[in-house]
Amino acid sequence: MPLEQPALGGGSPSSDPRTSFSDKARQYFTTEELVRGRVYARGRYLLYGVRTVLTLGFFGLLTLSPLSARMRDLSMSAAGGRVWLTIVVFGLLLALLYQVVTFPVSLYGGFLREHTFGLSSQTFAAWLWDYTKGALVSTVILLPLLLLLYTFIRWDPTRWYLPIWVIIVLMMGLIAELSPIILDPLFHTFKPVQNTELVERLRALTDRAGLTVGPILEIDASRKTKKSNAYFTGLGRTRRIVLYDTLLAASTPEEIEFVVAHELGHWKRNHIWKGMAISAASALATLWLIARLLTAAADSGRFSFLHPADPVSLPFLLLLLYAISLLTTPFQVAISRSFEREADRESLRLSENPRAFIAAEVKLVRSNLADIEPPKALVWLLYTHPPVLERIAMAEAFQMRQGK
């Protein structure tokens, strides 16, 4: 779970946090904003660590204890001995247990802390309904994949990863294309941006970028959060620009233009396709390694499964998948940060407005309570975006080259 602009409760970053920030940070932000962002960020770091420990502990316990075998026996009994239904019941039971274990972290991090820091506008009932919908959507998507996974493992315990990899790659593309019209409306309401002058301005920007996009939409983000953002989504005919209503309410047209220019920069540099290619390659390598380790574990006789196709192997498989994801996170986020830097440079070239770039960055940091000067080690480990002061420095350098 890499962090975009990581932001858990905690004390001050030093004996006197008001004297621990650089002059560059103080140039753009007040001491209160700096301290508040840092405190909020420390909570997010801690929650990330807690969720990581819980996940590793949960799958590790099921892998090393007889509990997973008992779950398999219970699932088989409920399924009347039918193999495919046993896998479905086992998967549902495993997912339910994981939700129970991690729900307190989700509740605290996603609802209680957001209200504590004044960032959420959701009622508990609305948050819980979104959480439930998210779990149901994940189940609908992952259950068929789980069935296919164990079907292919039974057919070929050593090379099952090849057809599964093909299916995953196809699903990645399908979800990217259909998410804007099928999944996103489950959680938000979208409507065309009503400001025709702004729409014309953004259309002119996309024309300068040489890109064709679909509708420019406003999302009802304020119904849930006070944070601001914008994003591109979809592929082909479903490609569209989405602007938070909180961004539209708090930003000037020039600042909104920069935010959209940044997203256009991702398309100009083909980051979507590059990211999908990198994900596909890493998925193949990960599945190959898991297939080898799964076979070795079954052959060793040290675990509760003697064949990779036994549903009892699922916690071990998920443990491997999560551990590999953790180990490769620094590489994943390093690639993401390089993409974000390229998109920033492209946005400056497209908009030619470094002042709007800086103003938009400052407003986004304030609305999202970002950590303005995060520890370098955490940036290397977790950050998908460069820290804000690095991004501002890039815009300042561009402004100097312009001679403005």
Token pair listed for 368? 């999202």
Res 368: pLDDT: 93
Residue (of 289, 369, 349) closest to 323 by Cα position: 289
Name the pLDDT band for 210 (thresholds 50, 70, 90): confident
Q: Are 264 and 346 in contact (CB under 8 A)?
A: yes
Degrees, nearest 5: CA angle 152-153-157:
125
Stronger pLDDT, 399 or 125, i.e. the higher one: 125
For residue 192, the cross-strand partners are 217
Average pLDDT over all residues of the chain: 91
Q: What percent of the chain has pLDDT over 70?
A: 95
Which DSSP category does 383 fall into?
B
On the question of pLDDT at 15 being above 90, the answer is no
On the question of pLDDT at 232 being above 90, the answer is no
Q: Cα–Cα distance between 363 and 247 in angstroms, integer?
A: 9
Q: What is the pTM of this model?
A: 0.89
Q: What is the dihedral of CA 186, 174, 239, 179, to 10 degrees?
A: 10
List of long-range contacts for 94-98, beta carbons under 8 Å, 24+ apart: 94/62, 94/314, 94/315, 95/135, 95/138, 95/139, 95/142, 97/58, 98/55, 98/58
Res 66: pLDDT: 92
Name the pLDDT band for 107 (thresholds 50, 70, 90): very high
Name the pLDDT band for 404 (thresholds 50, 70, 90): low
On the question of pLDDT at 193 being above 90, the answer is yes
Which residues lie closer than 8 Å to 18 by C-beta, 6 or more apart?
31, 35
Query: Which residue blocks in 108-250 are alpha helix, DSSP H?
Result: 113-116, 124-155, 161-182, 196-209, 245-250
Res 3: pLDDT: 45
Strand locations in 237-301 (E): 240-244
Strand locations in 336-380 (E): none
Question: Mind listing the pLDDT tens digit for each residue in 251-297?
Answer: 999 999 999 999 899 988 999 899 999 999 999 999 999 999 999 99
On the question of pLDDT at 117 being above 80, the answer is yes
Residue type, 322: Y
Q: Let me know how many helices (H) and strands (E) the chain has, helices first.
A: 15, 4
List of long-range contacts for 51-54, beta carbons under 8 Å, 24+ apart: 51/1, 51/102, 51/105, 52/1, 52/326, 54/101, 54/102, 54/105
